[in-house]
Amino acid sequence: MSIKFQFLAAGKGDAILISTQNRNILIDGGEKYQFIDKHISKLKSLDLVILTHIDDDHIKGLIELLGKEIRKKINSIWFNPFDKATKFSRINRTNETSFTQGITFYQLVKEMNKINTLFSYDDKIYIEEKPTKINLFETVDIELLSPTREKLQILNEKYENYCAKHKPDFTTSGKKANNQETCEKLADNPFQKDTSPTNGASIAFILTYQENDRFLLLADAHIDVIVTSLKEKGFSENHKLKINFVKLSHHGSKHNINPDFLNLIETDTFIISTNGSGHEHPDKETLCKIVKNLPRIQNKLLTFYFNDDRNCARCKKYFNSQDFEKYNFSLKSLNENSLTFGE
């Protein structure tokens, strides 16, 4: 038995297909359904679809998915809607960002029971509601790390402002990262945290397979929430979370990684899921902080896997041969965008 992770090439966003024992989980849908169609359309079932949060590069492909025939194969969906998601039900389905897309997705989910009477929908995916392990299948468990009820409330307040003004009331930083500085200097830059309400509402979790293999899937979650959750689960510098890989939060943004997090985990593999368009993720600063500050056993080789060849090639140019040798790390493109464990 094995578990397979496919980090689908879905533009700058996430679309992760997890398969084991004829069971399939899809996390997010990327920027366009056409990017992921060849992988999704041939499945016999989609046992669970998780929309981590409402940003365009995560939700748009799922909106298109719910308009296609394959939606009949979906057994369950996880999605945290707004408290008053029906308030703007009169809004036509659009491709506008975040709030209107969240409303559109909610409306489509509400129609699913008409298509499949066995369909289930969970709209309470937050830590306080699910503080313990969730058993998905015989061999797969999930432990939520994000969001908290507070983060969802913050997003709801922004949604209320949106309803009042009929336009989004927040922005995310669009500044270009300084990728020309040396790795040594960037690794020591002070941490400036992500303030996006949508990212803060991300569903992030530890996935455990057969009680032995663990994987950290962080969506775009705020790293301080992840750190707090890990500590509450008993992890510390002396009792680290041992994981097969980390799917880096927010595609490797420097605002979603910090030393506190790195001191709580033990791994040699990081996943970067994006083509690098838009904000040019991952930031060089993120890679530098990891290779310099992550505690390692016997200076073990670190590997960053990219689901996009061109983005991997772009990031390799940030470093010289001395950097790779000094910090003992490599940047690689995934073979067919997949990793398999437990074979």
Mean residue pLDDT across the chain: 90
Separation of first and last alpha carbons in the chain: 6
Which CATH number applies to 3-341? 3.60.15.10
Residues in contact with 217: Cβ distance below 8 Å, sequence separation at least 6, in sequence order: 16, 27, 204, 205, 206, 207, 247
DSSP type of residue 70: G
Residues in contact with 293: Cβ distance below 8 Å, sequence separation at least 6, in sequence order: 187, 259, 262
Model confidence pLDDT, tens digit, residues 194-227: 999 999 999 999 999 999 899 999 999 999 999 9
CA 161, chain centre distance (Å): 26
Contact status, residue 46 vs residue 71, Cβ threshold 8 Å: no
- In the block, tokens 């056409």 appear at 34
Model confidence pLDDT, tens digit, residues 302-318: 999 999 999 999 999 99
Query: What is the pLDDT, as a whole number, of residue 181?
Result: 87
CA 254, chain centre distance (Å): 15
Which amino acid is present at 319?
F
Query: What is the pLDDT, as a whole number, of residue 96?
Result: 40
Q: What is the mean pLDDT of residues 334-340?
A: 85
Model confidence pLDDT, tens digit, residues 250-292: 999 999 999 999 999 999 999 999 999 888 999 999 999 999 9
> DSSP for 166-191?
TS-------PPP--SS-HHHHHTSPP
Q: Which of 71, 98, 224 is nearest to 161 (CA)?
A: 98
CA 133, chain centre distance (Å): 19
Domain chopping of the chain, boundaries = 3-341
Model confidence pLDDT, tens digit, residues 141-194: 999 999 999 999 998 887 777 666 655 444 444 555 667 789 999 999 999 999
Q: What radius of gyration, in Å, describes the C-alpha atoms of the chain?
A: 19
Model confidence pLDDT, tens digit, residues 58-100: 999 999 999 999 999 999 999 998 765 555 544 444 334 577 8
The better pLDDT of the pair 94, 341 is held by: 341
Query: What is the pLDDT, as a whole number, of residue 164?
Result: 63
